[in-house]
Every structure is written in structure tokens, then in C-alpha cells.
Structure 1
Amino acid sequence: MEVILRKWKLDTGSSVPPYEQVRLRILDLAASGALAVGAQLPPVRSLATSLGVAANTVARSYRELEQAGIVATAGRSGTAIASGGDVIGAQAAEAAESYAAVVRDLGIPGHKALAIVRAALERGAAR
């Protein structure tokens, strides 16, 4: 939620409806990569409370983003940034999910798992 709210507030004096402002903010963050493929969005009620709007306002934003393929909602698992046509990003997110499952099964702590990835990326860059 911090990413969405960082240096941004709803413009109550704007002619753009609040749901559209929220939708555009999330769309901009997804397009810029600030919200990567697979990034979880805050629950509707939580974001609505932080923004001072009705839950239906945020829910409408999420619904429209889902219809556009920008986010995907998986029931109790919440809403996350979808590929939105970013095939490479979707493949990377899928590989990351697989890696995360393996390191969890092995009992490797998150900081160590990230260090392993960093080292692998640095070895690849050195070639």
C-alpha cells in the first residue's frame, strides 16, 4: 500500500472521479514497474480507509483493472498485478514463484534465498 500512497493523494477538487484516480494510479505504477507482475495490492477496505473513500470506490477501480487484464483477483488470496500482456514479466514471475516454493520447502530463509539470486544474476552479468 505504501507504493500506491507514496507522494500521492486523491484530488478531491478534480473532475476525475475518485475510482478513476485510483485506477490510473495503479495503472501508472504497474506500467512503470513500481508494482511488478505478481505484486499484491492492498485489500479493498484497507486502501479505501487509507484514502478516505468508500470501499465500493476502490472495488470499482480493481474491477476495471481486472477487466483490462492489469490485475487478477484470486478470492481470499487477494488482488495482484497480472501480466497485462507482459509475457516476459509473466514468465519471470512464474519462475520466481517456483523458486520461492523450492526455497520454502528447503527451509532457506528469505534473505539467503535473495542472496543466491543476486549472486546468480551477477555471475550472468559477468559473462
Structure 2
Amino acid sequence: MKLSLDASSSVPPFEQVRGRIIAQIDDGTLVAGTRLPPVRTLAGELDLAANTVARAYKELEEAGYVETRGRAGTFVKGADAAAARGAAAARTFAETARRLGLSSAEAIDLVRAALRED
């Protein structure tokens, strides 16, 4: 796995790490079962604090992209990852719809309309 960060970017380093790993998973560079480098190893390669990489890995796990298997390491998740990411996106949308004061019916109508836009 090869990652590079943009030191001049306004995007925080943990978000850059997370985003680049997601991009590699989405484009097939990182396939299911691929072991990610240990937190300290990747932090050293990127000249970051270990906590920065650990935060990126934690957020990737919460979003369903990877799973941590204790001392065995962190691995790219398999086929169920798409469903987990979809569920996370749905939760985010539902929270936004509530914040905007949309009814359930209005929110569902918006999703249906968006799905038809291909």
C-alpha cells in the first residue's frame, strides 16, 4: 500500500489517510483480506503521530471498510463492506433529514428521486 499526504492541504492528516485508503479500496487497489500496515509502521512512513493513523483506522472500521483482528492486524473487509457503508450513509442521511425538519416521507421521496438520477 502506497500513501502520500499533502502537507499544504487544509484537510487534516487523519482525513487524508482515511480518504486515500477508501479510494484504494473503492478502485480495487486494496482488495478484501489485504492487511494494512500496523499503525506505528504507517505513521513512521508518513511522518505522523501514531494516534493520527489510529484515528483514521478507527474511522475506517466504524464505516465498515476495515476490520481489526486484535494482534493479527487491520484488514480490508469483504463483500459485506458495501452493505455496511450503505447503512452508514443511510444513517448520516437520516440524521441530516431530521436536522432539516424533513418528514420520513419527504426524505424517502428524495432518496427515490436520487436513485432514479442515473
Instruction: Pick the aligned partner of 2:47 from 23, 43, 52.
Output: 52
Whether the 8 Å contact between 1:4 and 1:25 is mirrored in structure 2 is no
- TM-score scaled by length of structure 1: 0.62
Name the residue aligned to 2:31.
Answer: 36
Name the residue aligned to 1:18.
Answer: 13
- Whole-angstrom CA distance in 1 between matches of 2:82 and 2:11: 27
Whether the 8 Å contact between 1:4 and 1:29 is mirrored in structure 2 is no
Amino acid at match of 1:85: A
- Whole-angstrom CA distance in 2 between matches of 1:77 and 1:33: 22
Indicate yes or no: 2:86 matched with 1:85.
no
Name the residue aligned to 1:4.
Answer: 2
Displacement of 1:85: 2.1
Paired residue total: 81
RMSD: 1.0
* Percent of aligned pairs with the same amino acid: 54
Deviations 1:62-107 (A, max 9, x none): 0000000000001001000002127xxxxxxxxxxxxxxxxxxxxx
Runs of 5+ consecutive residues of structure 2 not aligned to the other structure: 84-118
Equivalences for 1:38-117 in 2 at 5 Å? 38-83=33-78, 84-85=81-82
- Whole-angstrom CA distance in 2 between matches of 1:56 and 1:44: 8
- TM-score scaled by length of structure 2: 0.66
Q: After the TM superposition, which segments of 4 or more aligned residues of structure 1 sit over 3 Å from their partners?
A: none
Runs of 5+ consecutive residues of structure 1 not aligned to the other structure: 87-127
